[in-house]
Structure 1
Amino acid sequence: MPTSMRTFVVIAAYDEAAVIGGVVAGVVQAGYRVVVVDDGSADGTGPLARAAGATVVTHPINLGQGAALQTGFDFALAQDADVVVTFDADGQHRTSDIARLVEALDRQGADYALGSRFLGGTVDLPPSRRLLLAAATAFTRLTTGLAVSDTHNGLRALTRRGLSRLRLRQNRMAHASEILHQIALAGLPWVEVPVTIEYSAYSLAKGQRMSDALFILVDLFARRMHR
C-alpha cells in the first residue's frame, strides 16, 4: 500500500517474556509500529516489549486474547491507523508475511486479508493439530458462509473501514471465529493470503489443548442457535 499508510501491528501477549523481545524487535526492524497489549502478565512481558521498541498498553488483570486484541484495535484507531495487522506473540509468525497481507489489501481492493497456512505452509505442525484446525474450519464455513481455508490463524490485516465494523465480545480464544462471523456480516471484501506458520515446543505448549478447542466450538454453536 502507499508508504503514507499508517500500519500498526497489534500483538496480544500474556506471560510471553521468553520470546516477546525477539518478536517485537523483528517487527520493529521491518519498519512497523508495534502495539503490545500486555494482558495481565506476571513475568515482565510488558517491560521487555517496551525495551524492544513497542508501545505497551497494559491490562491490570488477564482478560483473554479477544479482549486484548480489542484494546489494541481501539488504541490503533485512536492513533489514526489506516491498517492494523494482528500478530501472535509466541514466535510462530514470520515478519515477512506482514507485507504480503498489507499489499493484498491494496492489490485486491479488500478490507480484510486473512492469513492461511493451508494456502501457504507450516513447519512442524502435529497431525492432531491439523485435524483440529480442519474441524474448526469446517464449522466456520458452515456457520458463516465464508469459504475460508484456515479459521484460527492470528495473522491478518484489516483496513480502518474494515476494523470499524468489528467489535469483539468473545474475550477468550473464541474471538477467532467471532472475527470471521463479523466479517461475514460486514459484507466488505476479503481475501486469503498464503502465510507460513512455524510451530515450536514453546508455541505448542502455549496453544490450546484439544479439549479447550472442542469446548470453544460447542460454545460458539450454542450461541449461534440462540440468536
Structure 2
Amino acid sequence: MSDYDDVWLVIPAYNEGPVIADVIEAARKTFPNIVVVDDGSTDDSVSSIMKTGAHLVQHPVNLGQGAALQTGLNYALKQPGAAYFATFDADGQHQTHDVERMVALLRTGDFDVVLGSRFIEQTGQVPWIKRVVLRTAATVSPTARKLNLTDSHNGLRVINRAAAENVRITMNGMAHASEIVAFLASSELRVTEVPVDILYTEYSRSKGQSLINGVNILFDISLRERGRK
C-alpha cells in the first residue's frame, strides 16, 4: 500500500522515447498509479512505456496535448479509488516532490485545484524568451488575472475529483492551457497557485515552447477573450 494510492498521474507523451521510461520509473517510486497517453508517437515511446508498469492508452494519430490530457483524465476517473489527478509532463521537467506538496494542499479540503507556478519564487532557471512569453500570457489574459495567476501555462496541475469530472478540454493543441484557465475562472472551484521547481535539461529545452508557438498562444488568448465578450 502507498500513501498515494488515490492519486493518478496523467502523462501525455509524443515522441519522448529517449526519456519517457526514466520519467515514469522515477515517478512510480512515489506514485504507483500512472496513465501515459501516447499521442501517436512515431518513435519507440510505446515500447519504452510498456516496460515501466504504467497504464498505457494510445491515440492512433497525433491529436495534440490537450486531447491526450482529456483522454488520460477520462481513463483515470474510471479507476477505483481515484480521488486526485496530476497532469505531469513527459520530458522530465516536473518533480514528484512538487506533486506531493500539491496533493497535501488538496487533502486539507481548502482547495479543489492547485496550479504550479515558475514565477512565485524567481529561480532564474526559466529561459528568458519563455519567461517573457509566459509572463505576458498571464498578464494579458483576463481569466488568468481573475484567478491572480502568475503562470497560466504551467503543465503541472493537481485537481480533485470534482474538478476532474467537470473539466472538458476541447482544444487539442497547446492552447488547451488557456481553455483550462478559462474554465476555472468561470467555475466555483477553489483555485490556488504554488511555486514549483522546473528542471530545464538540454533535452527538455530542445522539446520546449518555441517563440512562434508562444506568439500563437498569445493570439489564441486574444481570440478566446474576444469571443467571451
Does TM-score exceed 0.5, indicating one fold? yes
What is the rounded CA distance, in whole Å, between the counterparts of 1:176 and 1:47 in structure 2? 29
1:120, distance to aligned residue in structure 2 (A): 4.2
Residue of structure 1 in register with 2:29 after alignment? 29
SS of 1:79's partner is coil
Residue of structure 2 in register with 1:63 after alignment? 63
- Compared with structure 1, are the counterparts of its residues 6 and 143 closer, same or farther at alpha carbon in structure 2 (3 Å cutoff)? closer
Residue of structure 1 in register with 2:98 after alignment? 97
- Compared with structure 1, are the counterparts of its residues 18 and 226 closer, same or farther at alpha carbon in structure 2 (3 Å cutoff)? same
Q: Kindly tell me the number of residue pairs found equivalent between the two proteins.
A: 226
Residue of structure 2 in register with 1:53 after alignment? 53
1:50, distance to aligned residue in structure 2 (A): 2.1
Counterpart of 2:67, as a letter, is A
- Compared with structure 1, are the counterparts of its residues 9 and 192 closer, same or farther at alpha carbon in structure 2 (3 Å cutoff)? same
What is the rounded CA distance, in whole Å, between the counterparts of 2:134 and 2:104 in structure 1? 26
- Compared with structure 1, are the counterparts of its residues 5 and 210 closer, same or farther at alpha carbon in structure 2 (3 Å cutoff)? same
Higher mean alpha-carbon deviation, 18-27 vs 193-202, is at 193-202
Counterpart of 1:37, as a letter, is V
State, as a whole percentage, how many aligned pairs show the same letter.
42
Higher mean alpha-carbon deviation, 122-131 vs 17-26, is at 122-131
- Compared with structure 1, are the counterparts of its residues 144 and 32 closer, same or farther at alpha carbon in structure 2 (3 Å cutoff)? farther
The structure with the greater share of residues assigned to strand is 1
1:205, distance to aligned residue in structure 2 (A): 1.6
Per-residue Cα deviation, 1:45-88 (whole angstroms, up to 9, x for no partner): 12211212210000000000000000000001111421100100
CA contact (8 A) 1:141 1:148 kept: no
Residue of structure 2 in register with 1:75 after alignment? 75
What is the rounded CA distance, in whole Å, between the counterparts of 1:190 and 1:89 in structure 2? 24
- TM-score normalised over the length of structure 1: 0.93
- Compared with structure 1, are the counterparts of its residues 35 and 184 closer, same or farther at alpha carbon in structure 2 (3 Å cutoff)? same
Residue of structure 1 in register with 2:163 after alignment? 162
1:185, distance to aligned residue in structure 2 (A): 1.2
1:4, distance to aligned residue in structure 2 (A): 7.5
- TM-score normalised over the length of structure 2: 0.92
In structure 2, list runs of 5 or more residues that go unmatched: none
Q: CA RMSD in A?
A: 1.8
